[in-house]
Chains A and B, each alone.
Chain A
Amino acid sequence: MAAHCLRVVAATAKINLIMTWRFFSWSGFALRFWSPLMTLGAAWVLFNTVYGGATSSAFDAAAGTPSYLSFIVIGNAFYVFVFAAAFVVGRVMFWERAMGTIEATFMTPMSRFAYMTGVMTAAGINSSVDLIAVFLIGLLFGFQIASFNAPLFLAGLLLTAFALFGIGLIANAITLSFRDRTTTANTLMTVFLVFSGIVCPVELMPNWAQMISKALPLTYGIRVIRASLFGTRVQEVFYDLAILLVLGIVLVGVGVLTLRLIERNLKKKALFSVF
């Protein structure tokens, strides 16, 4: 059974990677960095020209670093990773339906969980390329690394990817039910972008916004990634790692359950390939 699942994961990851890179387009690749590039440019102008290179003392205390631009670069790199991963996984069923392969896919005896894990594996590989690219772009905007704690960095990245996988599973279920791919994904991404602490520490946000932040796995993931690059001790982000793990388990559990329910419902009503 385990070997079968691994074969499904490997095959799905392979086909998804082939589909991504076979028709590689430079304009499409560049477009993925448009948004972080503009945010970095705007942050650079605000920091250097409007405020003369000075941030508030509250920012220094909350961010754990006085380097505003490094803070922003890490936030944006991480957002690009999330964007690439969550978008692909959250829309996979929609595209299966659009390509006319969804019925065939669900008729096979493969594990749905293994299939989705394969999609996530390919998305994770692709989004890691994007993550590295934004860090490289960030060097032009003054990105500096105080230290690099590789195990903590990888732990943060993997646990966030795990939680995103859960969100992707839930998004798929919503997409299949409502026959919508844009609204669900865009709403999710806007919530992540605004409330996860990408452009400012969560502690500086209004109380109501902090409450939303606490429910998002990305908030904890981004804190771990920043800690791994700013030289923060592991003990100080242990709580974030634990919360990230718990959120991941809950989200994946809910995602698997939701997807199973939706599949059963769509089969019963013969609505799989109906738009």
Chain B
Amino acid sequence: MFWRVVIAEVRKNIKQFFFSTRTVFWTLMLPLGNGLYLYFLYLPFATRSVNLEMNGSWFNLDLVGFTLIGQLLYTFYTMMLLSGASFEREREQGTLEAVLLSPASRPAVILGGALASAFNYVWFLLGIMVSWVAFVGVKIVVTDFLALFASIALSYLSLVTVGMCFESLFVYSRRGGMYATMLQEPIMFFSGLVFPLQAMPVALLSISYLIPLTFGLMSLRLTLLGGASLLDVAVPLIALIGMAWLFLAVAILLINQAERKAKVNATLTQF
């Protein structure tokens, strides 16, 4: 029953997302445009590489790859963030009550929404990666494929659970879409997307470490561009596992509480 609900939600959300070819165009345009924007931000400076520090070791990364990986993962994160407004869409469509009246598992509904957002993006991510490697000449340096696989899988998992968490959190608000938009820029700044994290003012670093994207960027950049081993990226990978569990637990807690409260107060479909 749980997985049937998940699959049904995934199918519904994918159909709603790809209702027109313009959506496909825009999903492709956004990471490409923003990736170029980040790359151009570096052009006034003399060097064409970025140094990243991890566990006392320094890794020299290709600038194009640094900005590309950053932008791809950030766009994926943005998609998950925006998926958080999916309950708000149900409310707008007048279907939220019907969804919550059904015996469907609530975590299955939000997992389906988050997985659909992830699916909508992943094939673009692969396409852009391949085209950038082929045409722009991104220097890929992989020495430990297990570390790379773990980085991709755990980044994906933790970002999906963040999407679930936002989805549950935004039920409490009638302005989920706006909050999702508001969060994009600060996360872009604090996650180390634009510049290496060691350049971040120390006072602000604690904020960076609350964001799973920070650790996803670290591990993926190092394993894909810097040839880092599993041991080199052990800390960010462990952080990603911990965050995935934490966000999943918070998501389930929040959605159950929100539903109970809304049913008691009869405010589920009120704007």
Chain A residues proximal to chain B, CB less than 8 Å: 27, 31, 34-35, 37-39, 41-43, 45-46, 49-51, 54-56, 59, 63, 68, 71, 178, 180, 182-183, 186-187, 190-191, 193-194, 199-201, 204-205, 209
Contacts and interface: CB of A to CB of B under 8 A. Distances in A.
A46 B26 contact: no
Given A190-B30, A204-B44, A46 B194 contact: yes
B75 to A, nearest CB: 12
A133 to B, nearest CB: 16
Given A31-B182, A56-B45, A183 B26 contact: yes
Contacts of B194: 42, 45-46
The 3 A-B pairs with the shortest beta carbon distances in the complex, nearest first, are: A190-B33, A59-B44, A49-B199
A49 B197 CA distance: 11
Nearest to B36: A194
B22 A205 contact: no
Nearest to A34: B185
A209 B43 contact: no
B133 to A, nearest CB: 17
Contacts of A50: 45, 50, 195-196, 199
Given A45-B195, A46-B42, 7 more contacts: A45-B194, A46-B194, A54-B46, A180-B20, A191-B33, A194-B40, A209-B36
Contact of B185 (A27, A38, A46, A201): A38
Nearest to A39: B41
Interface string B49-76: 0100000000000000000000000000
Please tell me the size bucket of the interface on B.
Answer: 20 to 34
Contacts of B178: 27, 31
B188 interface: yes
A186 B189 CA distance: 21
B200 interface: yes
A32 B43 CA distance: 26
Contacts of A68: 44
Nearest to B196: A50
A21 B194 CA distance: 35
Interface string B2-38: 0000000000000000001011011001100110110
Contacts of A34: 182, 185-186
A42 B182 contact: no
Contacts of B36: 194, 209
B256 interface: no
B181 interface: yes
Nearest to B30: A190
Contacts of A39: 41
Contact of B44 (A42, A49, A201): A201
Most buried by A among B36, B47, B182, B186: B36
